[in-house]
Amino acid sequence: MRYSKCVRCAGMVGWIGLVVNLTLLILKGFVGVIAGSQALVADAMYSAKDVVSSVLVIVGLKVSNRPLDREHPYGHGKIEFILSMIISIVFLAVTAFLFVHAVQVLMGDGEHKAPHLIALWVALISILVNVFMYFYTRCVSIEINSPMVRTLSKHHYADATSSIAVAVGIIGAHYLNMPWIDTLVAVFETLHLMYLGSEVFRESYKGLMDSSAPDEVRDKIHTLVRRVDGVKEVDELRTRLVGQEVCVDLLIQVDAEETVESADLISERIVERLTARIPHLGSVQVKFTAHEVTRHHSDGSIDETSRDRGLPSEGGA
Ligand SMILES: [Zn+2]
Ligand SMILES: [Zn+2]
């Protein structure tokens, strides 16, 4: 920590995000409707998304960090995926509704009316607040190195950009006599929002289906394990995502002469090595099989010694 007050500002990041974004959401939604700016109403959805992210930072982290218990021996990591899946569906429904509405207005032959200028002021406030929140959350994410807070800071950057588009749209509608431009901005915003929502949906689906970790993480694990003393070969490597954690199942070959104690030691070394190098490592299971030695006899026959000694060993991280 660079400053002592950073401890306090890091602890409050979820709550500040919640209050600030909820205020922006209500302000933009309300003013967007009364001022007749569809772009500002769509812009309110960006703040809605941040309200949800802030709640996830507060609640999700608490629940998924709850220790293992008898009913949930694999932890509570999946609650995050279940929550974000439900939220993404609601989010997709609302943005799709706004999108259809904006397209209908744009295509319809009704008279286009430029939004009231108060919408411009709200868009400007939103830009300022989001720029401030971007720097604030970025400071916190650097201090506490949290990927969740880093995502939050990226959101605020995107939100500021979106509010700039809204402001430009309202200025165009008002001063350039192109009242339809506000609706056009709304169409693009809702399209972008639907894309964001479907991305969250896909991520949570992958998490619920026990998808394996990305290839580069698998490759890194493979290389790390292969280099551990006593490991002859990695026969099997399975990974799955549980919440933010990566769980690993391994089947490795060790020397057939190895004792149970030394096999346990190898497994400990593997867990140690992975814990140090793989972020968000969950449980690690290591099973052993005897290294296959192929002996060639002088008469040309081959005999293989390959006994599965099946010494399961567990390690947690
Ligand atoms: Zn700070
Ligand atoms: Zn439980």
Ligand 1 centroid vs 265 CA: distance in angstroms? Answer: 42
What is the pLDDT, as a whole number, of residue 307? 42
Ligand 1 centroid vs 8 CA: distance in angstroms? Answer: 8
Ligand 1 centroid vs 247 CA: distance in angstroms? Answer: 33
Q: Which ligand sits nearest to residue 149's alpha carbon? A: 1
For the chain, the three-class secondary structure string (H helix, E strand, C coil) is: CCCCHHHHHHHCHHHHHHHHHHHHHHHHHHHHHHHCCHHHHHHHHHHHHHHHHHHHHHHHHHHHCCCCCCCCCCCCCCHHHHHHHHHHHHHHHHHHHHHHHHHHHHHCCCCCCCCCCHHHHHHHHHHHHHHHHHHHHHHHHHHHCCHHHHHHHHHHHHHHHHHHHHHHHHHHHHHCCCCCHHHHHHHHHHHHHHHHHHHHHHHHHHHHCCCCCCHHHHHHHHHHHHCCCCCCEEEEEEEEEECCEEEEEEEEEECCCCCHHHHHHHHHHHHHHHHHHCCCEEEEEEEEEECCEEEECCCCCEEEECCCCCCCEEECC
What mean pLDDT value characterizes the chain? 79
User: With 50 as the cut, is the pLDDT of residue 101 above it?
Assistant: yes
Give the CB-side neighbour count of residue 250, counting CA atoms within 13 A: 31
Q: Which ligand sits nearest to residue 9's alpha carbon? A: 1
| Rounded Cα distance, 205 and 237, in Å | 22
Q: Which ligand sits nearest to residue 65's alpha carbon? A: 2
What is the pLDDT, as a whole number, of residue 129? 92
What percentage of the chain reaches a pLDDT higher than 70? 79
Q: Which ligand sits nearest to residue 142's alpha carbon? A: 1
Cα angle 51, 20, 57 (rounded to 5 degrees) comes to 40
Ligand 2 centroid vs 64 CA: distance in angstroms? Answer: 10
What is the pLDDT, as a whole number, of residue 293? 61
R_g (Cα) of the chain, nearest Å: 27
Ligand 1 centroid vs 144 CA: distance in angstroms? Answer: 9
Ligand 2 centroid vs 78 CA: distance in angstroms? Answer: 11
Ligand 2 centroid vs 295 CA: distance in angstroms? Answer: 52
* Residue type for position 210: D
Query: Is residue 1 exposed (0-12), middle (13-18) or buried (19+ Cβ within 10 Å)?
Result: exposed
Ligand 2 centroid vs 241 CA: distance in angstroms? Answer: 18
Please report where in the chains the tokens 């979106």 appear, as a residue: 162
Ligand 2 centroid vs 242 CA: distance in angstroms? Answer: 14
275: left (phi over 0), alpha (psi -120 to 50) or beta: alpha
Residues with CB under 5 A from ligand 2 (ion): 69, 71-72
Ligand 1 centroid vs 129 CA: distance in angstroms? Answer: 17
Ligand 2 centroid vs 62 CA: distance in angstroms? Answer: 12
Average pLDDT of the residues in 272-285: 85
User: With 90 as the cut, is the pLDDT of residue 23 above it?
Assistant: yes
Ligand 1 centroid vs 9 CA: distance in angstroms? Answer: 6
| Rounded Cα distance, 246 and 224, in Å | 15
What is the pLDDT, as a whole number, of residue 54? 80
Average pLDDT of the residues in 125-140: 88
* φ/ψ (deg, to 5) at 160: -60, -45
**pLDDT-based confidence at residue 312 (cuts at 50, 70, 90):** very low
226-257 pLDDT, tens digit each: 888 888 888 889 988 776 678 899 999 888 77
Q: Which ligand sits nearest to residue 13's alpha carbon? A: 1
Ligand 2 centroid vs 70 CA: distance in angstroms? Answer: 7
Please report where in the chains the tokens 């289906």 appear, as a residue: 209
Q: How many CB atoms lie within 10 A of CB 202?
A: 12
CB crowding 287-317: b at 16 or more within 10 Å, else e: bbbbbeeeeeeeeeeeeeeeeeeebebebeb
30-88 pLDDT, tens digit each: 998 888 888 888 888 888 888 887 887 777 656 656 666 676 666 666 776 787 788 88
User: With 90 as the cut, is the pLDDT of residue 199 above it?
Assistant: no
